Chain A
């Protein structure tokens, strides 16, 4: 926990010249090295005796961040997206929408050959409720989302290759479309480089996919909703 107190230091990195920013700001060590490096090059930041500028603060929304810098990292299990799944994502629409890109892994123990599952996911959270007087906790009581995934695995028997004539099977063995509802609990653990609160959250997703849906819709009396549900659990941390 004590290390977390140092996190606001990362905010300084935004004020550094570009070459210093390139060094990974994730660890304190590399950050202090970067600080030393910039001090050694006085030409880049001329020491003008101006009154201390206010710390750079991004305007509300996250527009000030360069597009290539993800807003959060994700670690997840299950939910049809892999046994161990990691990814990055962006938050937009005032924190209501997360767009995540994930890569998941399923070992060959549970497959013909190991599977790599690549998922693009959009999660909408209409409400964020602060919990507790200090405002350190946030609850998103309801989230809803959609995802598309592609499974790479040598052993998978394709449904749309030269073995078949066109339309032999109507679905893809590798591409899945899914939807889910869920929730998320987050805790503020300091601020990020722009002075925004940095949160660490745990979430769940109760979902299903296109093939399960087509199974239930043709069997409304035969399958129950519980039959087609999947559960995914994950943590998300703001960068």
Chain B
């Protein structure tokens, strides 16, 4: 009996091949597809979204200081949380600036502490011509955010040296830890600020929540501020903060230590900070 060649029969004779094709497609999907999300709180991320702090620091150290000499110039902004359109405009604007060493972001990269948000932000900031460095914010610690942040960026407390300056980035989001008396890690801060290094003229501390904010652990306020204003060698030029979503500069304590708060991304403004000498600095506001 001759074989009928209706479309159905053809499909039937090809079913093994079709099945194999579907299986291949499926396994490809499962292996490489970001769509297959186990939970919004999961902390998986592909390689290109991991260890960004280390990668950015390596990129920074490979770049000669664009201002040269004793001066360092960087962009200062914070709270990128849920401002993706603004992040794109921000990148375009920064890429037009000259002699910028890096971008410093004072925390709250995400709004809900979700890894997808960190990825959405990096998808925009990776187009910066200069490296960018972040400190953890309170929103980045929500849900599984701590681990998401550590996977995507890296340590919550870290320091690096560039352009005759030691930058110390520290987690000050005390409320997220239930004001447990351990955040910020004051002994770590003391140790980091104390060690003098050759060629370092000044130190700059950046954290998300300023010590005079209600979300800072009150038990640690005095020791934290004393550590910053103590006899550090070299001295702390100023502390950078975010959290308040608007620019501000002041000396809230009697010791005369300067605190500078960043614009948030939604304000469509950022500050270009030029630092030289021991404590000299210049602020330029850029709108974008």
Which A residue's beta carbon lies closest to that of B84? A222
> Which chain B residues border A169 with CB–CB below 8 Å?
142
Q: Give a binary string over A57-70; 1 marks a CB under 8 Å from any B CB, 0 the rest.
A: 00000000000000
Which B residue's beta carbon lies closest to that of A214? B82
Interface residues of A in 139-177 (CB under 8 A from B): 151, 153, 155-157, 159, 162-164, 169, 171, 173-174, 176
Given A80-B40, A110-B44, decide whether A219 and B84 contact each other with a Cβ distance below 8 A.
yes
Indicate whether A231 reaches chain B with its CB closer than 8 angstroms: yes
Given A151-B39, A171-B112, A222-B85, decide whether A111 and B178 contact each other with a Cβ distance below 8 A.
no
Indicate whether A211 reaches chain B with its CB closer than 8 angstroms: yes
Give Cα distance in the complex from A209 to B38, angstroms.
Answer: 13
Indicate whether A24 reaches chain B with its CB closer than 8 angstroms: no
Given A157-B145, A164-B175, A221-B85, decide whether A77 and B41 contact each other with a Cβ distance below 8 A.
no
Q: Is the CB of B35 within 8 A of A230?
A: yes
Stretch of B114-122, B238-246, B270-278 contacting A (4+ beta carbons < 8 Å): B114-122
Q: Is the CB of A111 within 8 A of B33?
A: no
Q: Is the CB of B147 within 8 A of A163?
A: no
Most buried by B among A206, A215, A219, A228: A215
Q: Is the CB of A80 within 8 A of B37?
A: yes
Q: Give a binary string over B62-89; 1 marks a CB under 8 Å from any A CB, 0 the rest.
A: 0000000000000000000011111110
Give Cα distance in the complex from A40 to B145, angstroms.
Answer: 62
Chain B residues touching A, range = 35 or more
Which A residue's beta carbon lies closest to that of B37? A230
Q: Is the CB of A111 within 8 A of B43?
A: yes
Q: Is the CB of B176 within 8 A of A219?
A: no
Interface residues of B in 19-60 (CB under 8 A from A): 26, 29-30, 33, 35-44
Given A157-B176, A171-B112, A218-B82, decide whether A211 and B40 contact each other with a Cβ distance below 8 A.
yes
Q: Is the CB of B38 within 8 A of A106?
A: yes
Indicate whether A14 reaches chain B with its CB closer than 8 angstroms: no
Given A159-B142, A162-B178, A221-B85, decide whether A115 and B37 contact each other with a Cβ distance below 8 A.
no
Indicate whether A212 reaches chain B with its CB closer than 8 angstroms: yes
Indicate whether A181 reaches chain B with its CB closer than 8 angstroms: no
Closest chain-B Cβ to A117's Cβ sits at a distance in Å of: 6
Selected from A111, A153, A157, A176, the residue in CB contact (under 8 A) with B113 is A157
Indicate whether B258 reaches chain A with its CB closer than 8 angstroms: no
Given A111-B43, A215-B82, A219-B85, decide whether A80 and B38 contact each other with a Cβ distance below 8 A.
yes
Given A221-B85, A223-B120, decide whether A78 and B37 contact each other with a Cβ distance below 8 A.
yes
> Which chain A residues border B147 with CB–CB below 8 Å?
111-112, 155
Which A residue's beta carbon lies closest to that of B8? A132
Q: Is the CB of A156 within 8 A of B144?
A: yes
Q: Is the CB of A211 within 8 A of B112?
A: yes
Q: Is the CB of A106 within 8 A of B42?
A: yes
Given A111-B41, A112-B144, A163-B178, decide whether A231 and B36 contact each other with a Cβ distance below 8 A.
yes
Indicate whether A82 reaches chain B with its CB closer than 8 angstroms: yes
Indicate whether A83 reaches chain B with its CB closer than 8 angstroms: yes
Give Cα distance in the complex from A156 to B110, angstroms.
Answer: 16
Q: Is the CB of B37 within 8 A of A79?
A: yes
Closest chain-B Cβ to A154's Cβ sits at a distance in Å of: 11
Selected from B8, B39, B178, B179, the residue in CB contact (under 8 A) with A117 is B39
Give Cα distance in the complex from A231 to B25, angstroms.
Answer: 14
> Which chain B residues border A174 with CB–CB below 8 Å?
143
> Which chain B residues border A155 with CB–CB below 8 Å?
144, 147
Give Cα distance in the complex from A221 to B86, angstroms.
Answer: 10
Q: Give a binary string over B103-132; 1 marks a CB under 8 Å from any A CB, 0 the rest.
A: 000000001111011001000000000000
19 contacts between A and B (CB under 8 A): A80-B38, A80-B40, A110-B43, A111-B147, A115-B39, A153-B41, A156-B143, A157-B143, A171-B112, A173-B142, A218-B82, A219-B85, A223-B84, A223-B120, A229-B35, A230-B35, A230-B36, A230-B37, A233-B26
Q: Which residues of B contact A (CB under 8 A)?
A: 8, 26, 29-30, 33, 35-44, 82-88, 111-114, 116-117, 120, 141-147, 175-176, 178-179
Starting from the known contacts A106-B39, A106-B42, A153-B144, 7 additional A-B residue pairs (CB-CB under 8 Å) come to A78-B36, A83-B38, A104-B38, A110-B44, A155-B147, A222-B86, A231-B33
